[in-house]
Amino acid sequence: MIDDDDVRDFALLSNPQTKLGAILTLIVLVVLAVIASMNDDECAQRTCPAGQTPKLMKHECLCVTIAKEPGARP
């Protein structure tokens, strides 16, 4: 699954040399951002056991347990 890291990596690695290259790069960035957003929404709708939260990380939808701040009360 495409995630936000892929969009960021593409933006950092792209180096358009012409106006056409800049326009094509912008189009690809927008498409990747839309796909990443759709994948994130799809992942958020999944269910996880034991109160975990679905999170799109490293190209996968993983069930994670959110860490609590030190000293926070339940």
- pLDDT tens digits for range 23-50: 999 999 999 999 999 999 999 999 998 8
- Which residue, among 62, 44, 61, has the nearest Cα to 2 in the 3D structure? 61
Q: Give yes or no for residue 68 having a pLDDT over 90.
A: no
User: Residue 56: in which H helix or E strand, if any?
Assistant: strand 53-57
Domain ranges of the chain: 4-64
Question: CA-based angle 9:10:13, to the nearest 5?
Answer: 85
Residue corresponding to tokens 């958020």: 44
- Cβ contact 52:59 at 8 Å: no
pTM here is 0.77
